[in-house]
């Protein structure tokens, strides 16, 4: 199982809408997904109550000590992906989530306040040596401010921009809030829209970052090889039996 955590100090950065969007994009790509809510504000739980479909489970876990054993149980059950939405600020639950993550996504709007607010989250990810990437969220359609924000985040992380900044950037559009209010993901609310295209692109970027696709391809290659080996062994046994009988 892979665990993705969305975390940042600043409220209103769009963690919940990104968590929902990524969960549905992953599900539509064929993964089994569980949304985990560590934010007592309950944005994901409220979204699920508005939803007419129970195909995506939201599981509230508000105590830090409960998170690790539950993630292990989910992994043992065969779940492929857990996406954890955290509260603003830096709580024990958020720290525990980052500690057990395979990738910490740090959403930030292209503003000085949002970028400054990523420092504490970045420090926790670094302290636990967990992979992380920034997601520029709620960006204007165009403008120099986006490039400035991207460069600032890269300098803050002291890493190559291609690794530290998730792509594509997510543009501010009403589709995200309208889908949240309707109990839908943006890919369900506007399946052919630009917002859906961006969220699916972001999920594909995450797949590549986590090397999930490569793992699945490897499994797909191993199974036919194993089947061929069993077939050869069966034929060999049959030939030996026929020889002895004659």
| In a shared domain, residues 222 and 193 | no
Total number of domains in the chain: 2
Residues 156 and 228 in one domain: no
Predicted pLDDT of residue 224? 44
pLDDT tens digits, one per residue of 131-188: 999 998 888 876 555 556 556 665 655 555 556 888 898 999 999 999 999 999 999 9
State whether 141 and 193 are in the same domain: yes
- Tell me the residue range of the domain where 239 lies: 214-246
Gyration radius (Cα) of the chain, Å: 21
Pair 202, 229 in one domain? no
Among residues 18, 15, 5, 11, the alpha carbon closest in space to that of 186 is found at 18
Q: Mapping DSSP to helix (H, G, I), strand (E, B) and coil, where does residue 59 land?
A: strand
pLDDT recorded at residue 175: 93
Query: CA-to-CA distance for 89 and 152, rounded, in angstroms?
Result: 21
Identify the pLDDT of residue 10.
87
- Could you list the beta-strand ranges (E) of the chain: 2-6, 33-37, 57-60, 81-85, 103-108, 132-136
- Please give the pLDDT value at position 66: 97
Are 144 and 237 part of one and the same domain? no
One domain, residues 205 and 119: yes
Cα distance between residue 7 and residue 214, in whole Å: 26
Please state whether 122 falls in left (phi above 0), alpha (psi between -120 and 50) or beta: alpha
- Are both 69 and 126 inside the same structural domain? yes
What is the pTM (predicted TM-score) of this model?
0.80
Kindly state whether residues 96 and 165 are assigned to the same domain: yes
Is the domain of 76 the same as that of 25?
Answer: yes
203-209 contacts, C-beta under 8 A, 24 or more apart: 203/22, 203/25, 203/26, 203/29, 205/166, 205/167, 205/168, 206/4, 206/22, 206/103, 206/105, 206/166, 207/29, 209/103, 209/131, 209/133, 209/166
Q: Is the pLDDT of residue 235 over 80?
A: no
List the one residue out of 33, 108, 106, 95 whose CA is nearest residue 67. 95
Both tokens of 32, joined, read: 């089994």
Based on the domain organization, do 55 and 134 belong to the same domain?
yes
The string of pLDDT tens digits covering residues 14-58 is 999 999 999 999 999 999 999 999 999 999 999 999 998 888 899
Whether 133 and 118 map to the same domain: the answer is yes
Do residue 179 and residue 196 come from a single domain? yes
CATH number of the domain within which 7 lies: 3.40.50.300
């Amino acid at each position: 199982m892979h665990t993705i955590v969305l975390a940042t100090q600043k409220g209103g950065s769009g963690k919940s809408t990104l968590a929902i969007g990524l969960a549905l994009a992953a599900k539509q790509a064929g993964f089994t997904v569980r949304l985990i809510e560590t934010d007592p504000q309950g944005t994901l739980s409220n979204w699920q109550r508005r939803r007419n479909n129970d195909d995506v489970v939201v599981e509230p876990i508000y105590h830090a000590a409960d998170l690790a054993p539950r993630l292990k149980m989910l992994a043992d059950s065969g779940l492929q992906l857990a996406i954890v939405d955290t509260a603003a600020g830096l709580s024990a639950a958020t720290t525990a989530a980052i500690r057990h993550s395979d990738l910490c996504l740090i959403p930030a709007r292209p503003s000085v306040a949002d970028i400054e607010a990523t420092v504490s989250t970045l420090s926790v990810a670094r302290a636990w040596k967990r992979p992380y990437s920034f997601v520029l969220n709620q960006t204007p359609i165009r403008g120099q401010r986006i490039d400035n924000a991207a460069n600032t985040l890269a300098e803050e992380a002291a890493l190559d921009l291609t690794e530290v900044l998730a792509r594509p950037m997510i543009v501010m559009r009403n589709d995200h809030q309208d889908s949240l209010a309707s109990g839908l993901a943006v890919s369900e609310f506007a399946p052919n829209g630009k917002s859906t295209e961006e969220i699916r692109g972001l999920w594909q970027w995450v797949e590549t970052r986590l090397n999930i696709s490569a793992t699945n391809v490897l499994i797909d290659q191993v199974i036919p090889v194993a089947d061929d080996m069993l077939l050869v062994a069966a034929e060999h046994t049959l030939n030996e039996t026929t020889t002895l009988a004659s």
